[in-house]
Amino acid sequence: MLGEASCYSWDDRRQLTIRVAAVFHGHEGPWLVLGYRAGWRAVEVLEPRSVFEMSCVVRAPLSTPFTCAADGIQVAAGCTLGKLNIKLEPVRSPEEIEYVFTCRGRTLHLKLKPWVWSRIKEISSESGLTEASRWCMRQELHTMFEELLEP
């Protein structure tokens, strides 16, 4: 009903697939996939009890395609512009890309390994965005990100 606030449980939120993220974003690109996967990792590790508990700082060059990850994070982690619990923080180069999630005093850093962005660029130029996206989905998360959890 209009005017009533509700909070979806994380079980309900898990119904938001990468396909939903692609519809939200406009297409399924590799940076959307990276953000989506990073967002789900943050949910797994930090275990927020509601969509209001977690926040994210996206540290990336403030240009596409790098900022596309923010849309994947919004769908997967529930950190949204409307709730003001996601922020973009500029960095100079793709080698500095990092997604920082905070929930109940704990912080998860997911830093993109430097070789990943150049591999995405290579696959995209040789085989297209769809293949680059599929590559990002196939990779083990630990091969693409350095993970650090601060208690």
Supply the pLDDT for residue 1.
40
Predicted TM-score of the model (pTM) = 0.92
pLDDT of residue 2 exceeding 90: no
Question: What is the pLDDT averaged over residues 13-30?
Answer: 89
Supply the pLDDT for residue 13.
55
**Alpha-carbon gap, residue 82 to 10, rounded angstroms:** 18
Which domains, from first to last, does the chain contain?
Answer: 10-150 (3.30.1330.130)
Question: What is the pLDDT averaged over residues 107-124?
Answer: 97
For 78, left (φ over 0), alpha (ψ -120 to 50), or beta?
A: left
Question: What is the pLDDT averaged over residues 111-131?
Answer: 97
Question: What is the pLDDT averaged over residues 138-143?
Answer: 98
Write the CB contacts of 45 (distance below 8 Å, at least 6 apart in sequence).
Answer: 101, 108, 149
pLDDT, tens digit, for every residue of 28-65?
999 999 999 999 999 999 999 988 999 999 999 999 99
**Alpha-carbon gap, residue 142 to 134, rounded angstroms:** 16
pLDDT-based confidence at residue 9 (cuts at 50, 70, 90):
low
Which residue has 């399924």 as its token pair?
Answer: 28
Supply the pLDDT for residue 147.
98
